């Protein structure tokens, strides 16, 4: 296992070292000590390595991640795993606003709560939040799954497209064009798999599914060019 | 952008450390606001006296002989303690307006920074580390304090545009964000007799709170009403003689992190501002909710009230 103390090595050098790890690297396990809320830690990784950040992080940790697994042993600042393409990001604490925003793939697990705009404009990423999420989450979400084991804040799923939203607790309010939908066996299958992979023991049967009513302007073919 | 830090001490043993801790927090927030910085410290009380902090761009001429001039004009002894471009004047409580009128008549312009029994505000244009060094903030002790690093968007980069803003005795406000209805509100508050010095949006926010409290609102009520009457983006941190409050607008784009231990309650625009505080590893760390007023004071328990957005 490789250990880097971020008190001793600059952020740019830490990220450059992680970027150098190729597909075939045999240095697959990395620990970053003393992150102290720094920005852009372990951003832009593209190798099947596992990075454990021992503490809380600032803006954009694990952004644009591909292949790598990033564990955050603390809470994450705004924009964690933003635009993730693949791989896994697991946060032991809470996540600040727009966690997993615009993500195309991979799995983001938040064991605490996520704040506002979680999964905004998500494009294929799977997000599992063990706690609650804040307002305007999954705004304009295009595809992927957002699973919330706790409660959701105001305007959930406003103007969303084809993303699936699963919430176990209460929803303060639904955003424009977001409605509750029937939970069919194929949805329960997706949900069961995601909860298992995210280490949650919540029962899939306790969740409700929300999605797009497809009534907004852009869903009407007569408005197409 | 702007950076905010705040520290409210519960443990008296930390009071001599207040300036040092806040200075460290402020410098960490330099890249959120490198153009000017300011700090409000709630320090020692002077019995029956009010502390007025004034500023001059030409302190050597403005402050020389000022003590005699003021004593003659006010007819009573005053204290003066010059700190670089600022000076702390100690005057009998209740004579602040008289002092303001006298200062306005002086040949060399002298500006009002703050007034109050315990509050002192120091602010200047420049990097936070330079501003903190200029006024030896790290050596100051106190019960609580607020700091701000500014990246200006709404008005000029000047000493008077820097935060914190003080408009009432022992009251101050710092702001991250931008208010969009400050022009109309400024005219309204001026008609109501509230003194507003600059074209800055945040000063209007501070004046609004002062106006509400003059009309009988508590700070908590004033902050709740600000959620209805102020339009724009804001994370506010406010200080009063015995307390410290936080409120974010309902959209809550502007970041905020809080930490609490048995020794203190701390605020930072980012977690990294808090990392050098004692016991932060085991502190309760959370993000304040949107449209929710949080308040701590020395004689009460923490409170928060939620207002529907």
- Walking along chain A (225 residues) 10 residues at a time, the average pLDDT comes out as 96 96 88 97 97 98 98 98 98 98 98 98 98 98 98 98 98 98 98 98 98 93 83
* A173 and A155 Cβ atoms separated by less than 8 Å: yes
For residue B303, name the pLDDT band (cuts at 50, 70, 90): low
Q: Say if CB B141 and CB B92 are below 8 A apart.
A: no
Please determine, for residue B167, whether its predicted confidence score (pLDDT) is greater than 80. Answer: no
CA-wise closest residue to A164 among A206, A207, A109, A196:
A207
User: Is the ipTM here above 0.90?
Assistant: yes
Please give, rounded to a whole number of angstroms, the shortest distance from the CA of B31 to a CA of chain A. 12
- Cα A50 to the center of its chain, rounded Å: 17
User: Which of B71-75, B126-130, B295-299 comes out lowest in average pLDDT?
Assistant: B295-299
pTM for the structure as a whole = 0.93
Nearest to B117 by CA among B271, B260, B240: B240
Given a cut of 60, whether residue B270 has pLDDT beyond it is yes
Per-residue confidence (pLDDT) for residue B309, from 0 to 100? 34
- Reported in sequence order, the residue ranges of B20-118 that DSSP labels E, i.e. its strands, are 36-42, 49-55, 79-83, 86-92, 111-116
Residue A188's CB is within 10 A of a number of other CB atoms, namely 15
Look at residue B299 and tell me whether its pLDDT is greater than 60: yes
In percent, the amount of chain B with pLDDT more than 90 equals 80
Q: What angle do CA B169, B174, B176 make, to 5 degrees?
A: 160
What is the pLDDT averaged over residues B37-60?
93
Sign of CA dihedral B201, B207, B209, B215: negative
More confident residue, B93 or B1: B93
A158 to chain B, minimum CA–CA distance in Å? 14
Answer whether residue B306 shows pLDDT above 50.
no
Which member of A56, A78, A135 has the closest CB to residue B255? A78
| Interval B134-152 mean pLDDT | 97
pLDDT exceeds 70 at position B302: no
Task: Count how many Cα atoms sit within 13 Å of the Cα of residue B130 in the half-sphere of its side chain.
Answer: 8
Contact state of A58 with B271 under an 8 Å Cβ cutoff: yes
pLDDT higher than 90, residue B297: no
| Residue B2 designated active-site | yes
DSSP string covering B230-297: --EEEEEEEE-SSEEEEEE-SS--S--EEEE-SSEEEEESSGGGGTTSTTGGGSEEEPPPTTEEEEEE
pLDDT at B247 over 70: yes
d(CA A53, CA A33): 6
- Kindly state the helix (H) or strand (E) to which residue B68 belongs, with its residue range: helix B66-74
pLDDT value for B96: 92
**Residue predicted with more confidence, A152 or B210:** A152
Measured distance CA(B228)–CA(B250) in Å, rounded? 10
Chain A, nearest residue to B309 by Cα: A154
pLDDT at B305 > cutoff 90: no
**Residue B189 confidence (pLDDT) above 70:** yes
Neighbours of B308 (CB within 10 A): 8
Mean model confidence pLDDT for chain B: 92
Please check whether residue A36 touches B, CB under 8 A. Answer: yes
Q: Given a cut of 90, is residue B276 above it in pLDDT? A: yes
Residue in chain B lying closest to A134 (CA)? B289
Contacts of residue A135 in chain B, CB cutoff 8 Å? 250, 252, 290, 309
Average pLDDT of B30-42?
97
Give the residue ranges of DSSP H helices in chain A: 11-19, 185-197
Please choose, from the candidates B274, B250, B272, the residue with its C-alpha nearest in 3D space to the C-alpha of residue B264.
B274
Query: Distance between CA A9 and CA B67 in Å, rounded?
Result: 53
**CA-based torsion, A164, A170, A174, A178: positive or negative:** positive
pLDDT averaged over every residue in chain A: 97
Paired tokens of A184? 């069919």
Model confidence at B220, pLDDT cuts 50, 70, 90, reads confident
For residue B57, what pLDDT is reported?
94
CB pair distance less than 8 Å for B271 and A116: no
In a mutational test of the A interface, the residue from B251, B287, B307, B308 whose CB has the highest number of chain A CBs within 10 Å is B287
* Chain segment A122-131, per-residue pLDDT in tens: 999 999 999 9
Give me the residue from B287, B290, B309 closest to A94, CB to CB: B287
Here the tokens at position B121 are 């505000």
How far is A66 from A63, CA to CA, in rounded Å? Answer: 9
What's the average model confidence in pLDDT over B131-142?
A: 97
Kindly report, residue by residue over B11-28, the tens digit of the pLDDT: 999 999 999 999 999 999
Contact present, A23 and A49 (Cβ < 8 Å): no
């Amino acid at each position: 296992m490789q250990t880097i103390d971020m008190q001793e090595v600059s952020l740019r050098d830490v990220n450059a070292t992680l970027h150098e790890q190729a597909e075939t690297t045999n240095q697959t396990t990395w620990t970053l000590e003393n992150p102290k809320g720094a920005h852009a830690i372990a951003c832009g990784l593209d190798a099947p390595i596992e990075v454990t950040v021992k503490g809380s992080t600032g803006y954009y940790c694990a952004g644009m991640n591909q292949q790598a697994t990033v564990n955050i042993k603390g809470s994450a600042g705004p924009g964690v795993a933003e635009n993730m393409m693949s791989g896994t990001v697991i946060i032991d604490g809470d996540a600040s606003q727009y966690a997993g925003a615009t993500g195309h793939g991979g799995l983001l697990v938040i064991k605490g709560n996520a704040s506002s705009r979680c999964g905004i404009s998500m494009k294929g990423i799977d997000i599992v939040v063990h706690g609650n999420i804040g307002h305007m989450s999954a705004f304009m979400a295009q595809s992927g799954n957002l699973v919330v084991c706790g409660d959701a804040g105001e305007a959930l799923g406003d103007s969303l497209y084809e993303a699936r939203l699963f919430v176990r607790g209460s929803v303060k309010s639904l955003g424009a064009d977001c409605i509750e939908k029937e939970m069919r066996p194929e949805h329960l299958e997706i949900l069961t798999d995601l909860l298992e992979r995210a280490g949650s023991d919540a029962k899939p049967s306790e969740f409700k599914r929300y999605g797009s009513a497809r009534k907004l302007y852009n869903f009407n073919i007569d408005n197409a060019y | 952008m702007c950076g905010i830090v705040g520290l409210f001490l519960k443990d008296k043993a930390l009071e001599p450390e207040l300036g040092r801790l806040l200075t460290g927090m402020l410098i960490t927030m330099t890249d959120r606001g490198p153009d000017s910085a300011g700090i409000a410290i709630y320090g020692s009380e002077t019995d029956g006296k009010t502390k007025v902090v004034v500023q001059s761009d030409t302190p050597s001429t403005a402050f020389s002989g000022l003590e005699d001039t003021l004593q003659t004009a006010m007819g009573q002894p005053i204290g003066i303690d010059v700190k670089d471009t600022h000076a702390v004047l100690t005057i009998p409580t209740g004579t602040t307006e008289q002092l303001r009128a006298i200062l306005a008549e002086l040949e060399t312009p002298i500006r009002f920074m703050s007034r109050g029994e315990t509050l002192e505000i120091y602010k200047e244009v420049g990097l936070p580390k330079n501003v903190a060094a200029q006024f030896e903030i790290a050596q100051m002790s106190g019960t609580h304090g607020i700091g701000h690093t500014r990246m200006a968007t709404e008005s000029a980069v000047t000493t008077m545009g820097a935060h914190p803003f003080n408009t009432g005795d022992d009251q101050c406000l710092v702001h991250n964000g931008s208010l969009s209805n400050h022009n109309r509100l400024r005219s309204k508050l001026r008609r109501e007799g509230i003194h507003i010095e600059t074209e800055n949006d945040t000063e209007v926010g501070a004046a609004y709170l002062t106006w509400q409290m003059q009309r009988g609102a508590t700070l908590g009520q004033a902050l709740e009403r600000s959620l209805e009457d102020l339009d724009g983006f804001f994370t506010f941190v406010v200080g009063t003689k015995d307390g410290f409050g936080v409120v974010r607008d309902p959209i809550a784009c502007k970041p905020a992190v809080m930490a609490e231990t048995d020794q203190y309650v701390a605020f930072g625009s980012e977690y990294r501002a808090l990392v050098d505080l004692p016991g932060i590893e085991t502190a309760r760390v959370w993000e304040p909710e949107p449209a929710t007023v949080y308040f701590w004071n020395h004689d009460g328990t923490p409170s928060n009230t939620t207002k529907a957005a």
